[in-house]
Amino acid sequence: MARDSCLNRVAVGAAMGGAVGGAFGAVWGTYEAIRYKVPGLMKVRHIGQTTLGSAAVFGLFLGAGSLIHCGKSY
């Protein structure tokens, strides 16, 4: 039972990190695309790459943090 709970916590942590990272990446990618005057449809590609990259990194770290805290009882 505790193992399922731990896996559930890690999955929720990774999902929350992905959501937060995706939102931050979209805002940052849009800012960079405007700042560096990215031409035409390359803006969409730049924003998408930034969004997915940030979501992956934030999700990885938040999932790892949830895994580390999984064994601790407070």
Residuewise pLDDT in 10s, the chain (74 residues): 456 688 999 999 999 999 999 999 999 999 999 999 999 999 999 999 999 999 999 999 999 999 999 877 65
Q: Where are the domains of the chain?
A: 9-69
- How confident is the model at residue 4, as a pLDDT? 66
pTM of the model: 0.87
Report pLDDT for 71: 75
Predicted local distance difference test score (pLDDT) of residue 72 = 72
- 3-state DSSP of the chain: CHHHHHHHHHHHHHHHHHHHHHHHHHHHHHHHHHHCCCCCCHHHHHHHHHHHHHHHHHHHHHHHHHHHHHCCCC
